[in-house]
Amino acid sequence: MMTHFKAFISGFLSTLVFHQGLFGIFYLLGVIPRAPYNLDPVGLLSVPSVVSLSFFGGLWGIIIWGIISRTTGVKHWVKSFILGAIGPTAVAFFVVFPLKGIEINLAMIPFGLLLNGVWGIGVSVFMKYFFLRSK
């Protein structure tokens, strides 16, 4: 149970540091029009958008860590990137965006895969270097 909590926190933090960090770099380079760390209220509780995104990043962190936790070396990091890229991006493009009325264009796909792949690496970074060090 504690591992699930740590994986949630890792996914949450990875969203704030890795996902939104890369999002910010894309924004500063003029590649995307929106700034990172969106504070617009969303949902029934009107929480800031970035907090909602981070919450779902935490849930994804539990799922991803459950799949990759027993792999080691380069294979672990590659799996972190690939699973991070594919799962959250597919759900965003095929479920979340249509529900929000956001049109998908082909240019969004590589950025979504890269943002979420880097997020997946971040989950492993937090788990391995912050939470699992004491073992």
* pLDDT tens sequence across 1-16: 899 999 999 999 999 9
Is the whole-model pTM more than 0.85?
Answer: yes
Helix residue spans in the chain (DSSP H): 2-14, 20-28, 49-68, 73-91, 97-100, 108-126
Beta bridge partners of 42: 47
Boundaries of domain holding 75? 2-131
* pLDDT tens sequence across 72-104: 999 999 999 999 999 999 999 999 999 989 999
CA distances to 29, 71, 78, 81, 107 from 124, in Å:
27, 11, 11, 9, 27
Low-confidence winner among 60-64, 100-104, 113-117 (lowest mean pLDDT)? 100-104
Number of structural domains the chain divides into: 1
